[in-house]
Chain A
């Protein structure tokens, strides 16, 4: 279908979005070519100096990037596995089906930063209930101040917060599946495990890919949780890219440099998400 006023539908949204974004994006590009910081605020021009520094002399950025990759891949994997299991369970007949469905959605409705504040009290090393439980066995793990465990804590909180989103997308997908393939499998005498492997999982592949990509996009922005739980610590051991950019830009006020970080980060994200999407499509379609 085609008609000449089609732009009247598209343009309001597109222009508003472009209008609000064009300055921020243009400005970020320009800013990344300047040395604007709290000592010398101003848009001077230093060429690609920020980028040279970033690629040759900033291991902390690349470490934060590795950490982010680790954290987001781990959390999304856990969210997907748990979310799929839960969705699969409440998809079929189960007592209190609606109660469980509502309950399993609730964490995603809560503000991450607020719930993280609560989680911080839960994991409080001397006054929280978690260590109250562990002290029964005579140990008090350092949930927030040990390098290894602080990452685990971040993962636990992220899984709590966002598994529901995965659960929602996957359950919506399961509920929209056609019935015929399942009937056919039953007639062929397939048990629940075979049914899952040969029918449910392949049918869910496109939906799974969509859900995983969406979650990876959102998870790569991990920020609130880290900010409240550990502030990137101890040291820089739980610092993610977003948080590092935040520190450079809004704590140390190196605006120019943080703009260069932002753009580099953005480009890497877009490229890697595209690659991941393509890989997932191949992987899931083949199986």
Chain B
């Protein structure tokens, strides 16, 4: 029961929507595709569903050619980021629709729809019109409709992106629970998102996409620890990983004429020369006897404050573990936690990470 793609490509007017996509996915797992808007996530899901056909490449399911099976005969389910339901049907009828389409018996339909409604927490709403539901409830209906089919492949295209923050957190937890029970039923789950936090929280396998290409695939931990390129490091961190050019010379890292850091242990095998260095916001904070930076912007987020800092050509985002107000232009003292530094080659490829040392 594996879904395999080899060299899927879709190209329109010299622009790649999918560029040589290959993967193998097996049931019982969540695959989270992370990528920015227009990176090809939705196109990939629609290709798997059969709504779009690729220009070249092949999709197989269980070793059988998947491309010759039309959408309506593939055992897939999909939830869109817009809340898509059938406006002329009520909640119950919406969820029962795919089962009726399969001509199942009335009792079986009733049982399965009831079960799905319980799973997504919509008991009591069976007779409601779709328009009379809130956004979150509408998305629950869409999820229930995709669960009720027991599809082999469940596609979720940024299902939470149009919900407000609190609801998103809450639904994500619920989704995780539902998925873990669902996953044990031998379905392949594919979930797309632009949000690194979401990708990390869902666990499972993470696939990083950009401009129609797969940049990296691996466990959430692996990608967090060792993003193989600067691009991946940007996409999979929020705020994006700070990247700046610098030079290793002797036992020092020179960022500009004023900032010099000492060389961390995991950099010891790097030869002298120019690199791109990376560090997460959490590796930059305020402390005495640091480097002078100007505050460009301070954003308070929950119990933390994100600081946009600048000095000459170097602009970074740092994190303060407290809530504090700053004046724009104010000079502060900034320190870099050198144990959290990444080094990338001039071609953007990871050379050294705090977690696995130098390659």
Residues of A at under 8 Å CB distance from B?
1-3
Task: Give the chain A neighbours of B70 by CB distance below 8 A.
Answer: 3
List the B side residues contacting A2 at CB < 8 Å.
53
Closest to A1 in B: B51
What are 3 pairs between A and B in contact, CB < 8 Å? A1-B51, A2-B53, A3-B70
Task: Report A5 CB to chain B, min CB distance, Å.
Answer: 11
Tell me if B's interface is mostly helix, strand, loop or mixed: loop
Report chain A residues within 8 Å CB of B51.
Answer: 1
Interfacial residues, chain B to chain A (CB-CB below 8 A): 51, 53, 70
Chain B contacts for A1, CB-based, 8 A:
51
Total CB contacts across the A-B interface at under 8 A: 3
Give the CA-CA distance A3 to B51 in the complex, in Å: 10
A2 to B70 alpha-carbon distance, docked (Å): 11
Q: How far is the CA of A236 from the CA of B70 in the complex (A)?
A: 66
> In whole angstroms, what is the CA distance A211 to B265 when docked?
73
Contacts of B53 in A (CB 8 A): 2
Q: Report Cα–Cα, A1/B50, bound state, in Å.
A: 10
Write the nearest CB–CB distance from A4 to chain B, whole angstroms: 10
**Closest residue of chain B to A2, judged by CB?**
B53
Tell me the complex Cα distance, A3–B53, Å.
11
In the bound complex, how far is the Cα of B70 from the Cα of A3, in angstroms? 10
> In the complex, what distance in Å separates the CA atom of A2 from the CA atom of B53?
9
Q: How far is the CA of A1 from the CA of B70 in the complex (A)?
A: 12
CA of A78 to CA of B296 in the docked complex: distance in angstroms? Answer: 56
A286 to B51 CA separation, bound complex (whole angstroms): 40
Q: Which residue of B lies closest to A3 (CB)?
A: B70
Closest to B53 in A: A2
Tell me the minimal C-beta distance from B109 to chain A in angstroms. 28
Nearest Cβ in chain A — how far from B36, in angstroms?
25
B68 to chain A, nearest CB (A): 13
A1 to B49: give the CA distance in the assembly, Å.
12
Complex CA gap A2/B50 in Å reads: 11
Q: How far in angstroms is the closest Cβ of chain A from B104?
A: 26
In whole angstroms, what is the CA distance A218 to B255 when docked? 72
CA gap between A46 and B70 in the complex, in Å: 58
3 residue pairs, one from A and one from B, having the closest CB atoms: A1-B51, A2-B53, A3-B70
Chain B neighbourhood of A3, CB < 8 A: 70
Looking at the assembled complex, report how far the CB atom of B351 sits from the nearest CB atom of chain A, in whole angstroms: 46
- From residue A252, how far is it (CB to closest CB) to chain B in Å? 56
Q: How far is the CB of A167 from chain B (nearest CB, A)?
A: 29
